[in-house]
Structures are given as structure tokens and as C-alpha cells.
Chain A
Amino acid sequence: MEELDRVNEPRQEALPTELTPEPVGVDGQAPAENKAWGVAIAGWLLPGLGHALQKMWGRAVVVFLTVGLLVIAGALMRGNLFTARGSDAFDALGYAADLGTGSFYLLARALERNGADVSHAGGDYGTRFLATAGVLNLLAALHAYEAARGRKA
């Protein structure tokens, strides 16, 4: 009877602890994952740095130049550079996109000494250039993150 009960017991699934444990860092995360996050943050702070740290020189230069060109053009066209003092959701989204340029956000602020002027189409296009630069840099940082994790990139 005891044997029958044992047969009717639900089989226990293999626990993850039985698997070969991955090497862990001091804070319990895999070192590769930590490195990937570091690369992503570096790439966000300075466009292209995430790829440069992985010796992807071509991509690093192109990301630096394209994001930089868009930021400089957007600022010189007097596009709207959003700040944290926005009044609605669109301002918040614009701020998030602009912050995507990392340190280049400060460059754009320095270039826009006379403030934004969206009364002309040029200023409106400049706003789009600045936002696109931020989103492009976030995409590049994500790409660098995936490459650091060993995904084919």
C-alpha cells in the first residue's frame, strides 16, 4: 500500500538548483549581464561608446556622428528641447526622447542659446531631429547591450 501511494504521488519537476549554476557576481547577477548593462549605459551617456567598448569601431563612429549631426542640426535649427518642467504627456514624451541623447542633451542646450523657435518650419523640423537623435541613440544602446550579451548583432 505504501508503495502504491508513492506511485500515485505527483512527480516532482527537476528544480533549477539541480542545474549547473552559472557563475555569479558579488551582487548575485551574472557578470556578463552586468557588463551588458554597463555597455548599454555607456552607450546611452556617450553615443557610440557602447560599441567602442566592444571594439565595434565602425558602428561606434557612425552612431557618434549620426546622433551628433542630428543634435547639432536640431539645435541650430532652434528645435524645441524639452525639459522636465513640461505641462502635459507630450512634453514628458519629448523630454524622454531628448534625454535619449545622453550627454549630447547638454550639448544641445549649450548650442540653443536663443531658445527654441517653432514659429517656423525649421524649428519644427529641429524638434523632430532632436527627438530622433535620442531615440536613435537608445536603439544603438540596446543594440550594444544585445551584442554584449552575445546575441548576433
Chain B
Amino acid sequence: MSSPGGLHFTHIQAFLFFALVISVAFGFLGRRQPKDRVKYILWSFLLFLAVGIGIGWLMYPFSR
């Protein structure tokens, strides 16, 4: 997945980047206390991973 002269991300890198950035934004907007924010960010990030990988596996039988 290359684009000439631009930024190169593999599928998993793009997925992890997206999940991390959005989780951090949600954590800071949704919680006030630092400890709550860290917990929210981690929980949101893990859910992104679980749902993304889960949907990937669900689509696997139809990918060929």
C-alpha cells in the first residue's frame, strides 16, 4: 500500500495509528481526571483493536 512520494503505512500501522489517535482524543474530551483519562484511553484503544481484528476475521471467509 504505497503512494509515491507520500507517507507509507501498512494496514496494521494505519489501523494502530487511527485507534491510538482517536482513543487519546476521546479520553481527553470524555474524562477530566488524569487517571480516568488513562483508563479510558487504554480501554478505548483495546476495544478498537478487538472490534477491528474481529471484523477482519468475520470478513475473512468472503475474502477469496
- Using a CB–CB distance below 8 Å, which chain A residues touch chain B? 58-59, 62-63, 66-67, 69-70, 73, 76-78, 114, 117, 120-123, 125-126, 128-129, 132, 136, 139-140, 143
Contacts and interface: CB of A to CB of B under 8 A. Distances in A.
Interface residues of B, number: 19
A59 B28 contact: yes
A136 B25 contact: yes
Contacts of A126: 3
Given A62-B25, A63-B25, A140-B29, A73 B7 contact: yes
A12 to B, nearest CB: 46
B6 A78 contact: yes
B57 interface: no
Interface SS of chain A: helix
Residue among B17, B22, B28 with the highest chain A CB neighbour number at 10 A? B28
Given A59-B28, A139-B29, A143-B29, A132 B22 contact: yes
